[in-house]
């Protein structure tokens, strides 16, 4: 692994905790400085886009380097999603979306404990999680920075649809994991 790729991977691992800290900060500023909170949520959305772009680059490099590099990249995505979902569930998500985040976290923990090989269903779930987190961050920024109501409603519905779709895919992939586990025993 080259030095540049190692530095990019380390930076990618740090984005999750940085976004978690920024979300917690924005939640603390929500009622005292609405514009600052909106700017922080928008910054989190920009960091998410940069993380996904860097992840795409690292994933394409990992494909040629083998299984160990691919495992590192998958772990990077999981670390980011766990940090983002926990901070959003704690500080920003309405209770119905927090329930979907808890489902996602529990299934992800079950799969990590069992060291599950990634399936296509899990890849779709991960994509829905990233898109749902991005839509929610955009919704928060739009609501706090006075975007038109139609934009706010559209982003709110997109976040709800994507996060609950990810939760449904998580339950389906968790069911596949349990079925495979029962077959083995």
Q: Which residue has the higher pLDDT, 3 or 157?
A: 157
- Binned at pLDDT 50, 70 and 90, residue 112 comes out as confident
| Distance between CA atoms of residues 105 and 100, nearest Å | 9
Let me know: does 156 contact 93? Beta carbons within 8 Å: no
Task: Return the higher-pLDDT residue of 99 and 176.
Answer: 99
CB contact at 8 A, 170 and 104: yes
Domain annotation for the chain: domains and CATH numbers: 3-184 (1.20.120)
- What pLDDT is attached to residue 164? 95
* Interval 112-140 mean pLDDT: 87
Here the tokens at position 44 are: 């989190």
Q: Is the dihedral of CA 41, 42, 43, 48 positive or negative?
A: positive
Asked if residues 136 and 159 have their Cβ atoms less than 8 Å apart, the reply is yes
Tokens found for residue 115: 């060291």
pLDDT score at 96: 85
Tell me, what DSSP letter sits at residue 30? T
Model confidence, pTM: 0.88
Instruction: Read off the tokens for 164.
Output: 């609950």
């Amino acid at each position: 692994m080259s030095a540049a790729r190692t530095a990019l991977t380390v930076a990618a691992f740090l984005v999750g905790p940085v976004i978690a800290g920024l979300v917690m900060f924005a939640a603390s500023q929500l009622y005292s400085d609405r514009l600052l909170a909106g700017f922080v949520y928008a910054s989190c959305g920009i960091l998410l886009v940069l993380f996904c772009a860097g992840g795409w680059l690292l994933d394409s490099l990992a494909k040629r380097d083998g299984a160990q590099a691919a495992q590192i990249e998958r772990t990077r995505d999981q670390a980011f999603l766990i940090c983002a979902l926990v901070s959003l569930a704690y500080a920003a998500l309405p209770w119905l979306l927090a329930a979907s985040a808890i489902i996602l976290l529990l299934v992800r923990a079950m799969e990590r404990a069992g060291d599950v090989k990634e399936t296509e269903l899990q890849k779709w779930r991960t994509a829905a999680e990233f898109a749902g987190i991005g839509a929610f961050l955009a919704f928060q920024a739009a609501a706090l920075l006075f975007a038109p109501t139609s934009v706010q409603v559209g982003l709110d519905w997109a976040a709800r649809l994507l996060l609950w779709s990810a939760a449904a895919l998580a339950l389906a992939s968790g069911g596949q994991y349990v079925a495979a586990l029962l077959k083995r025993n």
